[in-house]
Structure 1
Amino acid sequence: MKYILVTGGVISGVGKGVISSSFGAILKCCGIEVTMIKIDPYINLDAGTFSPYEHGEVFVLDDGGEVDLDLGNYERFLNITLHRENNITTGKIYQSVINRERHGDYLGKTVQVVPHVTDAIQEWVEKVALIPVSNHGRAPEVCIIELGGIVGDIESMAFIEAFRQFQFRVKRDNFCVAHVSLVPQPKTTGESKTKPTQTSVRELRGLGLSPDIIVCRSEHPIEESVKEKISNFCHVAPQQIISVPDLGSVYEVPVFMENHGMADFLCARLNLGITPLPPRRKYMSQWIELGEHIRHLKYEVNVAIVGKYTRLEDSYTSITKALHHAGNRIGYKVNIKFVEASNLEQTMLTDDPASYHTAWRDLCLCDCVVVPGGFGKRGVEGKIEAVKWCRQNEKPFLGICLGFQTAVIEFARNELKLADANSTEVNEETKHPVVIDMPEHNTGNLGGTMRLGQRTTMFKKSEKNCKIKRLYGNKEQIQERHRHRYEVNPQYINELEKHGLKFVGVDTEQLRMEILELDNHPYFVAVQFHPEYLSRPVCPSPPFMGLILAAKDRLKGYLARGCKLSPQEPQSDYYDSDEELKDLTQLTVKKLTLPDDDNSSAYSSSSQI
């Protein structure tokens, strides 16, 4: 097994997740089976109880693991299915060590950070690295490990020490370190400042890890003289220093890095045995074409996300990615406007009229609306107002999780005339609890007690022509990921359906409502699950595809053609509507012996690793 450790310096949030994913994408294009591990040094067992403002969105895996949002990047880039064990936290490590101590595994020894905690980290990594993550079930050959936070954080010291030991445990030819560091470029001078990178690399080396690659993140590309300066002070050859500036799309990063000879370097450094490589335009062609397509989108669509955590866009990372996937597929650049749900409420008209009118203006100017999930009472009434406006004004609408529940509440209030209709999460004393909690998930604890992970949703046999079923390819059942502990009250389902709210999808026991739809509406769909988690760059989530198509009045034609785009309509040449969508991680290179005749400046760089 080969290992690549990705560390960070200067500041967090510098893009280690995308860089790590890009390493994986490049290796997968070379025919190497890759797995990913994210290490978060916090003591929480998982990300499930975090506020979105604290850590961004919580990403949910097939097995119900509530993990860091970077695992979403890994799955999207590599088209793999990760497991809860692929996200390591300090809490998980200490819990396993303490459990072993209580069980008597340490035979009365004093349990210490070194060697017991550091050994537990190494054993966890070695165990998880062997778990298959691809559909064909082959064992991974390379494990990429992203260490969260920055070098020097007291929380990550045990992990740094563990990997200092680990490099000798697995031998040098099987272990590579990539350090991602910010190179600030103050606007006052425009000069690239290397001192922060020098300091972070010096600290990393002082802790026993020497980087093989330094990835310099900056707003603009850095000059060769800057690379040479970093090389002199960081003991890394200039050819092993990559400048990754801000790009138009994260999906351009793999090609950008490979243009600097990343595959050649990793093959040599880790002795992967896949050289000589063919021309880059061959094995990276799908990433190149995807990036070119995204850069040249001619049309635009405006989407409003009515949420509760709009101050931090990372709170809705998977939703924004899913919207972009759908827009890219049909040839539209997606412009997202975040609307704070609380600002749509009537009380804001007197409390803060400027915010109230701005929120409603933004909502009215959009082409379609997404009402995503959330927890708690705040902003629910604003979401209900947004749903009502979409329903009455025939604005394309997609509700997700809490958005599904607010759609039920709004319909009950305005069509069933149950003015007091509500969710017991918002009002436990409501006379008409159309949304109630699921008893088996109300344990008193918060972490890991929801209905989590991949579940089966079955379409009702009586619903043959509903839009959402056709978007899913007329399947009888689908698999999507869930994260909720509230459901539609079964006592109100018949009455809701009599008035026109169709529950077209249910769980396998046909007790829980999963999908709703309105007939006489361009697109009014809400789902209890989270379709955004399974959206991929070249395989967009069907509910999001329907939303974008309906926003541009193209849904009817799309459905009439059997969910195929018309050649006359805007779309990318990269996508072939008459064939299976391409897989960005298709194996194309391993053990090939094509001559390296690629001299095109479009796919090469003067700065090679």
Structure 2
Amino acid sequence: MKYILVTGGVISGIGKGIIASSIGTILKSCGLRVTAIKIDPYINIDAGTFSPYEHGEVFVLNDGGEVDLDLGNYERFLDINLYKDNNITTGKIYQHVINKERHGDYLGKTVQVVPHITDAVQEWVMNQAKVPVDDDRKEPQICVIELGGTIGDIEGMPFVEAFRQFQFKAKRENFCNIHVSLVPQPNATGEQKTKPTQNSVRALRGLGLSPDLIVCRSAKPIEMAVKEKISMFCHVEPEQVSTLLIVKYVGQRLRADLIVYERLLKVCSIALVGKYTKLSDCYASVFKALEHSALAINHKLDLMYIDSTELERSTEVENSVKYHQAWHKLCKADGILVPGGFGIRGTEGKLQAISWARTKKKPFLGVCLGMQLAVVEFARNCLNWKDANSTEFDPDTKNPVVIDMPEHNPGDMGGTMRLGKRRTVFKTQNSILRKLYGDETFVEERHRHRYEVNPELTHSFEEKGLKFVGHDTEGNRMEIIELENHPYFVGVQFHPEFSSRPMKPSPPYLGLLLAATGTLNAYLQRGCKLSPRDYPVQLFRSPEKEFFIY
């Protein structure tokens, strides 16, 4: 087993996740079996209780793990399925060590950060790196490990010490450290500054790790003199300092001729109506799923984020301006998406957007809460149940069309939802989504929710044309809705964006883009096959392999 440790310096958000994902993808393209581990130095056990504004979206794995969004990058880039133990947190490590201490595993010894915490980190990494992530169930050959945070942060020190020890345990030929750093270029001088990178590498080396490669992030390609300066002060060769590591490596390793094609792409605009629109990372997987689908049909995605609260009428002048701007975006969109979420804030605005999509026959996709609100909107405006609501927002509603699940335990904040991969069975062949999924009798997608459509009321909806075409295996939980006599009005209780891949776009999202571009019927008539002109743009070609840009 070989290990690549990706560390970061100077500032957070420097791009370690993208570098780690890209390196893993290149290595996999070379025929190697690759896995990935993300280390987050926070004390939380997992990402499940975070506000989206803290760390972006909570990514859900097949096994129900609620993890950092970077694992979504790994799954999409590497086209693999990871597990909750591929995300290591300080909380998990300390919980593991404390449980062992309570069980008497340390035989009365004083339990300390060194060696017990650091040993636990190394054991976790070695054990998880061996877990197969591909269908052939073979053990990976390379493990790419991203150490979250910034070198020098006090909370990351135990992990840095663990890898200082680990490099000798793994042996030099099996361990590589890539350090990602910032080279700022102040406007006042226009000069690229190397001092932050020097200090970052000095701090890393002072902790016992010496980088084999330094990836410099900068507004412009770094100059040769800057590269040589970093080389001299950071104890590496100039060729070990790069801003174009990925492209260089592909060209050298695969002897590939770089071919770039430019195409004029038609634009498809999608309005994403949510409550966390000020930070795009809150909907990272949704954006990727839409992007995968747009590229699959050779369109450029124009994603318009709309704060759902701004669709609600207000008497304040400032909010009135925002109200009209938000509605202008919604009205000009080719399709409308209402994603998942929690809490009552902004729900009335989402209901307004759903009503607009239904009555104006705009292509619509509702995910999780988006599906639940589509049911609420239909109940209020088509069944005339004016007080219809979810018990999440109104526990005393006379028409509880969405209810909390029996196993939901509100007394605990962690892992109480219905999580992970679950099976959805199609109950009819006359379903758009079933056709988009390849006419399968069932699908398996990832879930993350506490509330569900009330199964006792579904017959009233179906009589009016809102069909529940997908159920769970017991037939009790409503998983998919489709509206009759509408170009595309679909809701799913699961989160299909988590399983979308660049070469395998998520069917519900692909359906939305096809409907928004007016090509859904033609796609269905072709047996859900893309026409030749819709194939992706070729980027690399070599005698053995082909690579495509996504």
TM-score band, normalised by the shorter chain?
A: over 0.9
Instruction: For residue 439 of structure 1, give the secondary structure of its aligned residue in structure 2.
Output: coil
Q: Following superposition of structure 1 onto structure 2, how do residues 479-518 of structure 1 map, counting pairs within 5 Å?
A: 479-518=444-483
Specify every segment of 5 or more residues in structure 1 that has no aligned partner in the other structure, as ranges. 245-252, 264-277, 282-287, 576-583, 590-609
Distance (Å, rounded) in 1 between the aligned partners of 2:536 and 2:342? 38
Distance (Å, rounded) in 2 between the aligned partners of 1:588 and 1:100? 50
Distance (Å, rounded) in 2 between the aligned partners of 1:259 and 1:65? 33
Q: Which moved more, 1:185-194 or 1:418-427?
A: 185-194
Is the contact made by 1:438 and 1:487 (CA closer than 8 Å) also made in structure 2?
A: yes
Q: Match for residue 230 of structure 1? A: 230
Is the contact made by 1:160 and 1:207 (CA closer than 8 Å) also made in structure 2?
A: yes
Of residues 507, 512, 517, the one that matches 1:552 is 517
Of residues 361, 386, 410, the one that matches 1:419 is 386
Distance (Å, rounded) in 2 between the aligned partners of 1:493 and 1:188? 65
> Which letter does structure 2 place at the counterpart of 1:360?
W
Is the contact made by 1:185 and 1:191 (CA closer than 8 Å) also made in structure 2?
A: yes
Distance (Å, rounded) in 2 between the aligned partners of 1:486 and 1:29? 41
Instruction: For residue 473 of structure 1, give the secondary structure of its aligned residue in structure 2.
Output: coil
Shift of 1:570: 4.8
Q: Match for residue 11 of structure 1? A: 11
Distance (Å, rounded) in 2 between the aligned partners of 1:348 and 1:528? 35
Distance (Å, rounded) in 2 between the aligned partners of 1:539 and 1:151? 36
Distance (Å, rounded) in 2 between the aligned partners of 1:131 and 1:419? 52
Shift of 1:513: 0.4
Of residues 473, 481, 502, the one that matches 1:537 is 502
Q: Match for residue 26 of structure 1? A: 26
The TM-score with structure 1 as length reference comes to: 0.87
Q: Following superposition of structure 1 onto structure 2, how do residues 133-532 of structure 1 map, counting pairs within 5 Å?
A: 133-244=133-244, 254=246, 256-259=247-250, 261=252, 263=253, 278-281=254-257, 292=260, 296-347=263-314, 352-460=319-427, 463-532=428-497
Q: Match for residue 536 of structure 2? A: 572
Instruction: For residue 441 of structure 1, give the secondary structure of its aligned residue in structure 2.
Output: coil
Change over 3 Å in CA distance of 1:348–1:510 after alignment to 2? farther
Shift of 1:31: 1.0
Is the contact made by 1:349 and 1:356 (CA closer than 8 Å) also made in structure 2?
A: no
Distance (Å, rounded) in 2 between the aligned partners of 1:511 and 1:478? 16
Is the contact made by 2:296 and 2:534 (CA closer than 8 Å) also made in structure 1?
A: no
Q: Match for residue 270 of structure 1? A: none
Q: Following superposition of structure 1 onto structure 2, how do residues 48-63 of structure 1 map, counting pairs within 5 Å?
A: 48-63=48-63
The TM-score with structure 2 as length reference comes to: 0.96
Distance (Å, rounded) in 2 between the aligned partners of 1:71 and 1:364? 35
Shift of 1:259: 4.6
Paired residue total: 544
Q: Which has the higher contact order (CA 8 A, sep 6+)?
A: 1
> Which letter does structure 1 place at the counterpart of 2:332?
L
Distance (Å, rounded) in 2 between the aligned partners of 1:507 and 1:212? 50
Is the contact made by 1:297 and 1:331 (CA closer than 8 Å) also made in structure 2?
A: no
* Sequence identity (%): 62
Change over 3 Å in CA distance of 1:28–1:206 after alignment to 2? same
Q: Deviations over 1:192-243 (max 9, x none)?
A: 1111111100000000000000001112211111110111111111101111
Distance (Å, rounded) in 1 between the aligned partners of 2:278 and 2:491? 24
Q: Deviations over 1:386-425 (max 9, x none)?
A: 0000000011111000000000000000000011011111
Instruction: For residue 430 of structure 1, give the secondary structure of its aligned residue in structure 2.
Output: coil
Distance (Å, rounded) in 2 between the aligned partners of 1:331 and 1:297? 9
Q: Following superposition of structure 1 onto structure 2, how do residues 45-124 of structure 1 map, counting pairs within 5 Å?
A: 45-124=45-124
Instruction: For residue 190 of structure 2, give the secondary structure of its aligned residue in structure 1.
Output: coil
Distance (Å, rounded) in 2 between the aligned partners of 1:447 and 1:588? 47
> Which letter does structure 2 place at the counterpart of 1:329?
A
Distance (Å, rounded) in 2 between the aligned partners of 1:144 and 1:401? 32
| RMSD between superposed Cα atoms in Å | 1.9
> Which letter does structure 1 place at the counterpart of 2:291?
H
Distance (Å, rounded) in 1 between the aligned partners of 2:208 and 2:311? 54
Shift of 1:279: 2.1
Change over 3 Å in CA distance of 1:65–1:257 after alignment to 2? farther
Is the contact made by 1:401 and 1:527 (CA closer than 8 Å) also made in structure 2?
A: yes
Q: Deviations over 1:326-385 (max 9, x none)?
A: 010110010111000111112466671011111111111111111000011111111111
